[in-house]
Amino acid sequence: MKKIPIIMDCDPGHDDAIALILACSREELDLKAVTVVAGNQTLDKTLGNAKKILSFIGKHPPVAAGAAKPMFRELQTAPSVHGESGLDGPSIPEPDFREERMHAVDLLREIITGSPEPVTLVPTGPLTNIGILFTTYPEVKKNIQRISLMGGGIETGNWTSAAEFNIFVDPEAADIVFRSGIPIIMSSLDVTHRAFFMQEDIDRLRNSGGRVSVLVAELMDFYYNYYKKRGSTGAPLHDPCAVAYLVKPELFITKPYHIDIECAGKFTAGMTLADRRPWSDAEFNVTANIDLDREGFVNMIIKACESYN
Ligand code: RIB
Ligand code: CA
């Protein structure tokens, strides 16, 4: 089977961590590198968390640190969701390897230009690194097959009523990416709010017994608290959707849209504005995941964790 060459750009973060674990478990994917961005927490913390998770599962792709702040704005982090460490909950051993000395944007450029096959980018945090990459090295776009990202919300935001966190943190970077002309598969809140683990799923994961399964269950124990406090009956696993789509697109229902990124609004900055006018002739630039087979998704995540046993 021909593997899909991917690079994950992330801000671990509980759901980023699970997306990494999923990506590393699948034989359909060839994880060429992991680049890290500030988002859920500051860059030093998201970098450390990425290395900790990869060390815990015994995987050592090249890892490089990228942007410590958005392209033109101040950084906003999400300690209320992911804690002060960005990966609160279980204690995870220190990493057993060092990151690359080069900047994430240079590692992205090196791998993309050097790849014999077009590469798929899988951003699951603010799009700052990707925005800088396309601005600095626009020539790389010709060897990128598609971008499968977690971000945005057509029906609603989460960080504000209009904007989802990843896009809200760096709307200008998102605007560069959404206008890049590269095919985008957007796992927005419209699908990720349906991609949730219920307590029984978390307990099933914990009872499956392997060290990775127990770690992920403990990460979800912490992560679920944020959503329980807001009346949710499940913990939405946002970022793993961007990986799961590449592995089993049949789990998802998709719809094409023309999406613009609002960068100027006082109340709407970071909004992914979908053109839903039936008569619009705006060119589609996004394939949005709008629903999924939740049970199939949960089983994929649990099987991925068990594969490390
Ligand atoms: O809005 C959800 C997104 O913001 C996820 O990527 C989560 O990790 C946070 O980065
Ligand atoms: Ca994330």
What's the mean pLDDT in 273-292?
97
**What is the model's pLDDT at position 286?**
98
Centre of ligand 1 to C-alpha 124, Å, is 7
Q: What are the structure tokens assigned to 124, written together?
A: 């699951």
User: Residue 90 class from Cβ within 10 Å (0-12 exposed, 13-18 middle, 19+ buried)?
Assistant: middle
Q: Is the beta carbon of 11 within 6 A of some atom in ligand 1?
A: yes
Greatest CA separation for the chain: 56
**What is the model's pLDDT at position 68?**
98
Q: Is the pLDDT of residue 200 over 90?
A: yes
Q: Is the pLDDT of residue 25 over 90?
A: yes
Centre of ligand 2 to C-alpha 279, Å, is 35
Q: Is residue 215 within 8 Å of 93, Cβ to Cβ?
A: no
If pLDDT is split at 50, 70 and 90, which confidence band does 309 have?
Answer: confident
Closest atom of ligand 1 relative to the 82 alpha carbon: 8
pLDDT tens-digit map of 203-252: 999 999 899 999 999 999 999 999 999 999 999 999 999 999 999 999 99
If pLDDT is split at 50, 70 and 90, which confidence band does 171 have?
Answer: very high
Cβ-Cβ contacts under 8 Å for 209 (sequence gap 6 or more): 309
Q: Note the ligand closest to the C-alpha atom of 169.
A: 1
What's the mean pLDDT in 41-49?
98
**What is the model's pLDDT at position 82?**
97
pLDDT tens-digit map of 146-168: 999 999 999 999 999 999 999 99
Cross-strand pairs, 30: 5
Q: Note the ligand closest to the C-alpha atom of 77.
A: 1
**What is the model's pLDDT at position 254?**
98
Q: Is the pLDDT of residue 1 over 90?
A: no
Catalytic-labelled residue, pool 14, 60, 193, 238: 238
pLDDT tens-digit map of 75-108: 999 999 999 999 999 999 999 999 999 999 999 9
pLDDT tens-digit map of 179-191: 999 999 999 999 9
Centre of ligand 2 to C-alpha 90, Å, is 18
Q: Is residue 8 within 8 Å of 19, Cβ to Cβ?
A: yes
Q: Which residue among 16, 37, 88, 169 has the greatest number of ligand 1 atoms within 8 angstroms of its CB, and so is best to mutate?
A: 16
**What is the model's pLDDT at position 109?**
98
Centre of ligand 2 to C-alpha 114, Å, is 27
238 is catalytic: yes
φ and ψ of 54, to 5 deg: -65, -40
Q: Is the beta carbon of 126 within 6 A of some atom in ligand 1?
A: no
Q: Is the pLDDT of residue 263 over 90?
A: yes
d(CA 9, CA 300): 21
**What is the model's pLDDT at position 209?**
81
Q: Is residue 134 within 8 Å of 180, Cβ to Cβ?
A: yes
Closest atom of ligand 1 relative to the 189 alpha carbon: 1
On average, the pLDDT of the chain sits at 98
